[in-house]
Amino acid sequence: VCSSNKAMSIVEENPTAAVPSPLVRRGTSVNFDEGQTQDDCTECKRSLTVVVIGASGDLAKKKTFPALLALFDQGLLPSSLSIVGFARSKFTQSEFHAKIQPFLKGDEDVVAKFLSHVHYFSGAYNDVESFGNLAQELEVREANSSLLSAANRMFYLAIPPSIFADVIQGIDAKARAVNDGWTRLIVEKPFGRDTDSFHELNNVVAKHFNEHEIFRIDHYLGKELVQNLMILRFGNRIFEPLWNSNHVQSVTISFKEPFGVEGRAGYFDNFGIIRDVMQNHLLQILCLVGMECPASWAADDIRDEKVKVLKCIRDVDMDDVVVGQYGASADGTKKGYLEDPDVPSDSKTPTFAMAVFHIDNARWHNVPFMMKCGKALNERKAEVRIQFRHAPPPLFPGLARNELVISVQPDEAVYVKLMTKQPGLGMKLDQKELDFSYKHNFDEKTPEAYERLIYEVTRGEHSLFVRGDELDYAWQIFTPFLEKLEKVKPETYQYGERSLASADELARKNGFERSKYSSMR
């Protein structure tokens, strides 16, 4: 039951107000209110400096800079903008532009104009004076471009956690925004690899930055359909009466990739699929499916409800966990995980995992939440599948179950599987889908996750970012069974398989039915 009528009344009186923070139309800028122009926007009169730490790495080139370009092209960044790439590599500005330009897609003139705002600074991550020198350069640029005395600074840490401490210390000591400008820090996962390492990392960040200055990215929270989960649940009255253990048999949250760890084996072997995907992306989705209605769209109201879910998750039973590791493909064209030169020959790191979670509260008592993720499987897919209980007898014994499926990727869609009569004189039933596809219903381009998340940082909006206590409770859930899994040898599965037979059996034991309904009379 919704804990407050406030959010629902907002939806009823003004449907557009229910959307937490939509991207505004092309040609507007950050923090505009309805009817406001750029001349009226105080925030837009301040310069914004975005410093990308680790600018020469893959994450920055493939995700961060393309997202900044998209926001720039839509007019969603202040006109007084400076983007500075910071890394150890010795590049001239033109050499750095040449490094990132292949990843910047779009109109050539727009890309050229964007690159005119992009600069490069070479420095050492572990040298405080490097950040002092960086700050001097930033102050010169801001003094030349800012329309107001205050200038804002955003630091995007596209670097491994092992060097967070030095970088965060350097930013705090030397490179914070001056005068009344804000300083915001974007931190990428992984946020540790267990409870202890998370606490160690979080203590470093908290020592130098306040929680309101920290934006911990889980890019799945920036995906359109993940955001739409709250709208789907709390903006459509038909779902709330069914969203509980009286009607829901099981919830399955799946993530599948058709490729292995090519190029990432060194990183991946230290973390594995559970830490890489399940503990963050899939757990965040579980929280959004399982949480109660927040009191408002305020970031902390939403995150408070997610924390309540995490507190209710019981300890995971090892009988409810399956782990696998991919071998070579059937035709031999794809090598197995252990054949990768960067993977130890005796590695027990799972590339596939399934685990069953239970939320011990009144709404979800005895409903299994099954999370399943894997690499080198048969397709690229991420979805939430809510399977409802059987329709009561006696009219239609043995009917297939209704399902609500929320497809996150590759195609964004929501569809319901339901029973219907086939046309004709007989009473033949079949299961069909009511399909709501985004690409067939909306003309607007769906923003990329990083595009949306960086935009939200400029607005100071935290609802799509992970709070420190969320991560603490998440690691308390996962650390105990991750430690036990270190001694477990994963099952081997062929590259390109759909799933593991043991995972299918675990799903069946927890009440999931995988079957296509057969017509009956």
User: How does pLDDT run across 230-277, given as a tens digit for each residue?
Assistant: 888 898 899 889 999 999 999 999 999 999 998 888 889 999 999 999
Query: Which spans in 18-61 are helix H?
Result: 58-59
Instruction: Give the pLDDT confidence score for residue 178 in this predicted structure.
Output: 86
**183 plus 109 within the same structural domain:** yes
- Does 76 fall in a domain? yes
**228 plus 212 within the same structural domain:** no
Query: 266 is in which domain, residue-wise?
Result: 222-391+467-509
Say whether pLDDT at 364 is over 70: yes
Please give the residue that has the higher pLDDT: either 45 or 77: 77
- Does 186 fall in a domain? yes
Of the three residues 218, 244, 279, the one that is the final residue of a domain is: 218
Report how far residue 120's alpha carbon sits from residue 127's, in angstroms, rounded to the nearest whole number. 17
**243 plus 364 within the same structural domain:** yes
Instruction: Give the pLDDT confidence score for residue 425 in this predicted structure.
Output: 78
520: left (phi over 0), alpha (psi -120 to 50) or beta: beta
Instruction: Give the pLDDT confidence score for residue 45 in this predicted structure.
Output: 59
Instruction: Give the pLDDT confidence score for residue 443 in this predicted structure.
Output: 67
> For residue 160, is the peptide bond before it cis, meaning its omega torsion is within 30 degrees of 0?
no
- In this prediction, residue 336 has a pLDDT band, given cuts at 50, 70 and 90, of very high
Instruction: Give the pLDDT confidence score for residue 145 in this predicted structure.
Output: 66
Q: What is the mean pLDDT of residues 207-216?
A: 95
Instruction: Give the pLDDT confidence score for residue 392 in this predicted structure.
Output: 80
User: What would the 3-class secondary structure string for 327-395 be?
Assistant: EEECCCCCCCHHHCCCCCCCCCCCCEEEEEEEECCCCCCCCEEEEEEECCECCCEEEEEEEECCCCCCC
Contact predicate 150/46, CB 8 Å: yes
Instruction: Give the pLDDT confidence score for residue 314 in this predicted structure.
Output: 96
Please give the residue that has the higher pLDDT: either 216 or 398: 216
**213 plus 229 within the same structural domain:** no
Helix or strand run (H / E) with residue 216: strand 214-217
**348 plus 228 within the same structural domain:** yes
Of the three residues 197, 218, 239, the one that is the final residue of a domain is: 218
- Does 135 fall in a domain? yes
Say whether pLDDT at 365 is over 60: yes
**265 plus 381 within the same structural domain:** yes
Q: 281, 365, 440, 462: which one is catalytic?
A: 281
Contact predicate 412/439, CB 8 Å: yes
Instruction: Give the pLDDT confidence score for residue 51 in this predicted structure.
Output: 97
- In this prediction, residue 343 has a pLDDT band, given cuts at 50, 70 and 90, of very high
Coil, helix or strand for 131? Answer: helix
Q: What is the mean pLDDT of residues 14-30?
A: 36
Report how far residue 79's alpha carbon sits from residue 148's, in angstroms, rounded to the nearest whole number. 13
Instruction: Give the pLDDT confidence score for residue 2 in this predicted structure.
Output: 42
Mean pLDDT is lowest, of 357-371, 392-406, 468-482, for 392-406
**227 plus 213 within the same structural domain:** no
**213 plus 272 within the same structural domain:** no
304: left (phi over 0), alpha (psi -120 to 50) or beta: alpha
Instruction: Give the pLDDT confidence score for residue 461 in this predicted structure.
Output: 92
Of the three residues 170, 195, 218, the one that is the final residue of a domain is: 218
**157 plus 249 within the same structural domain:** no
Say whether pLDDT at 521 is over 70: no
- 390 part of the active site: no
Report the predicted TM-score, pTM, of the whole model to 2 decimal places.
0.86
User: How does pLDDT run across 84-138, given as a tens digit for each residue?
Assistant: 999 999 999 999 999 999 999 989 999 999 999 999 999 999 999 999 999 999 9
Q: What is the mean pLDDT of residues 283-310?
A: 94
**Beta pairing class for 248-256 and 368-374:** parallel
Contact predicate 147/45, CB 8 Å: yes
How many domains, in total, are found in the chain? 2
- Does 143 fall in a domain? yes
What mean pLDDT value characterizes the chain?
86
- Does 437 fall in a domain? no
- Does 445 fall in a domain? no
- Does 257 fall in a domain? yes
* 353 strand-pairing partners: 323, 373
Report how far residue 46's alpha carbon sits from residue 177's, in angstroms, rounded to the nearest whole number. 12
User: How does pLDDT run across 132-166, given as a tens digit for each residue?
Assistant: 999 999 988 887 765 555 789 999 999 988 899 99
**322 plus 380 within the same structural domain:** yes
**97 plus 240 within the same structural domain:** no
CATH number for the domain spanning 106: value is: 3.40.50.720
**157 plus 23 within the same structural domain:** yes
CATH number for the domain spanning 371: value is: 3.30.360.10
- In this prediction, residue 334 has a pLDDT band, given cuts at 50, 70 and 90, of very high
Look-up of token digits 């104009």 = 113
- Does 428 fall in a domain? no
Report how far residue 56's alpha carbon sits from residue 158's, in angstroms, rounded to the nearest whole number. 9
Cα distances from 239 to residues 244, 316, 512, in angstroms, run 10, 28, 20
User: How does pLDDT run across 408-443, given as a tens digit for each residue?
Assistant: 888 888 888 887 787 887 777 877 778 877 777 776
Say whether pLDDT at 324 is over 60: yes
Mean pLDDT is lowest, of 12-21, 47-56, 509-518, for 12-21
Q: What is the mean pLDDT of residues 34-44?
A: 45
